């Protein structure tokens, strides 16, 4: 005898609520477990995503081009021109969102009260904005107007260290190609803030033309920073650029420029699945216990159905349907709770109390949950698959009762 699907669903649904307290407790456990899977994954994903995006904006770009010796000795003697027509064709092509050439050298900046070692960036402001510099980060004053702007933009933390302020003059010193000291006075025209305080203290922006003239390097630059469409897959763009650059150029994606961040991203992708499996394995004990208790309570009922002609497979189907209904209800509640929590925290979670520790990892002091649909789908698949496997034991146990022995139990 095999029950129709509608009758099987009705019977399974009613059996769930025969002991509603136990069912509600199990539903609560599944709901909390699903919520923890999705919300914590979104929180961790958001932290790693923030670390990667902050790192990329600091580099900046998804791909960079340097002279081969530049990264070992970041001085103006290892510059490169931007005159190769094949390279310019790719840089201005459809694979590239934006690009810019920059001067990037070690320097010393001095005020009337103190001096600090910094990284001097000679930039084209339009290129920096296209690569992701946020104008909202300018807390005081303005950003540079153009590559010939004679002002300088410094970080808030550096301004405090130098005990200077907007409108005051500072002196910037670096080495020219002859290893002589090149220096120039700049007026502070802007003060920027950053997610990482270390960046506020270590980076200053000046006009690229002005820095090239100060260092006597003509039109040479230190690096070309290139922004693609997807930071997760910069390999294709990197390979395209490598084909056309001269042999004395080095082309590296951000994955190679910052191995720490690239490792974090890859580890996170694997950790998501491990995290979900571990959470549900803990829940599976409760699910097995609930279903086994339901089976033990209904031994005589199961024996009666067997005596009336229901096959063992029908008993298995009924228990499995009960488990599936329980899982679906828990998934619906857990998904809604997780989505509601993530929407509620869309403005971020302030963890400034541990800002120093977060900065050591390269993360900002505000964490934004980031829910990716593959993570949501994976969480639901893990619950359904592992829940189905977990339900096989009580379903099989119920199907093994012999009608005479089952009916004889009190």
Name the stretches of the chain with pLDDT < 70. Answer: 1-4, 83, 286-287, 290-299, 301-302, 351-365, 401, 403-410
- The span from the CA of 372 to the CA of 158, in Å, is 37
Q: What is the pLDDT of residue 10?
A: 81
pTM of the model: 0.71
* pLDDT tens-digit map of 210-267: 999 999 998 899 999 999 988 888 989 999 999 888 888 899 999 888 888 788 777 7
Q: Exposed, middle or buried by CB within 10 Å (0-12, 13-18, 19+), for 46?
A: buried
DSSP H helices, 141-220, are 156-162, 197-202, 208-215
Neighbours of 84 (CB within 10 A): 15
| Cβ contacts of 362-368, under 8 Å, gap ≥ 24 | 362/51, 362/54, 362/55, 362/196, 362/260, 362/261, 363/47, 363/50, 363/51, 363/54, 364/50, 364/54, 364/195, 364/196, 365/195, 367/43, 367/46, 367/47, 367/50, 368/46, 368/50
Residue in 386, 61, 364 with CA at minimum distance from that of residue 226: 61
Hey, where are the domains in the chain?
5-55+262-407, 60-257
- Token pair belonging to 201: 């203290």
DSSP code of residue 145: S
Q: What is the pLDDT of residue 165?
A: 92
Using DSSP's 3-state secondary structure scheme, residue 120 falls into strand
Q: What is the pLDDT of residue 1?
A: 47
Q: What is the pLDDT of residue 410?
A: 47
Instruction: Find the largest Cα–Cα distance for the chain.
Output: 102
Q: What is the pLDDT of residue 287?
A: 67
Is the peptide bond between 60 and the residue preceding it cis, with omega within 30 degrees of 0?
Answer: yes
Q: What is the pLDDT of residue 387?
A: 78
Residues in the chain: 410
């Amino acid at each position: 005898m095999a029950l129709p699907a509608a009758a099987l669903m009705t019977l399974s649904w009613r059996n769930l609520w025969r002991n509603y307290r136990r069912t509600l407790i199990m539903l609560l456990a599944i709901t909390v477990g699903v919520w923890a899977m999705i919300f914590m994954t979104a929180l961790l994903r958001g932290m790693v995503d923030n670390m990667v995006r902050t790192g990329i904006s600091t580099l900046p770009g998804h791909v960079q081009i340097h002279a081969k010796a530049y990264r070992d000795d970041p001085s103006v003697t290892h510059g490169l021109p931007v005159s190769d027509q094949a390279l310019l064709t790719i840089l201005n092509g459809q694979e590239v969102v934006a690009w810019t050439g920059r001067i990037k050298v070690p320097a010393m900046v001095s005020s009337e009260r103190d001096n600090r070692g910094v990284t001097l960036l000679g930039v084209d402001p339009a290129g920096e904005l296209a690569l992701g510099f946020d104008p909202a980060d300018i807390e005081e004053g303005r950003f540079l107007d153009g590559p010939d702007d004679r002002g300088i933009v410094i970080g808030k933390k550096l301004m405090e260290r130098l005990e200077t302020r907007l409108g005051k003059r500072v002196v910037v010193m670096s080495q020219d190609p002859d290893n002589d000291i090149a220096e120039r006075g700049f007026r502070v025209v802007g003060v920027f803030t950053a997610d990482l305080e270390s960046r506020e203290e270590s980076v200053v922006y000046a006009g690229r033309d002005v820095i090239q003239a100060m260092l006597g390097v003509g039109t040479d630059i230190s690096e070309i920073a290139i922004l693609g469409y997807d930071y997760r897959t910069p390999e294709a763009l990197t390979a395209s650029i490598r084909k056309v650059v001269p042999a004395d150029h080095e082309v590296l994606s951000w994955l190679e420029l910052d191995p720490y961040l690239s490792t974090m991203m890859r580890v996170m992708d694997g950790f998501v699945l491990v995290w979900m499996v571990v959470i549900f394995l803990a829940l599976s004990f409760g699910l097995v216990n609930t279903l086994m208790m339901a089976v033990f309570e209904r031994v005589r009922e199961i024996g009666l159905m067997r005596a009336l002609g229901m096959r063992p497979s029908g008993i298995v189907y009924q228990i499995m349907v009960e488990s599936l209904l329980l899982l679906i209800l828990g998934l619906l509640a857990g998904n809604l709770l997780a989505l509601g929590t993530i929407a509620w925290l869309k403005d971020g979670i302030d963890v400034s109390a541990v800002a120093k520790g977060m900065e050591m990892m390269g993360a900002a002091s505000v964490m934004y949950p980031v829910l990716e649909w593959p993570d949501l789908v994976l969480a639901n698949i893990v619950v359904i698959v592992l829940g189905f496997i977990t339900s096989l034991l009580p379903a099989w146990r119920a199907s093994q009762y012999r009608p005479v022995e089952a009916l004889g139990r009190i």
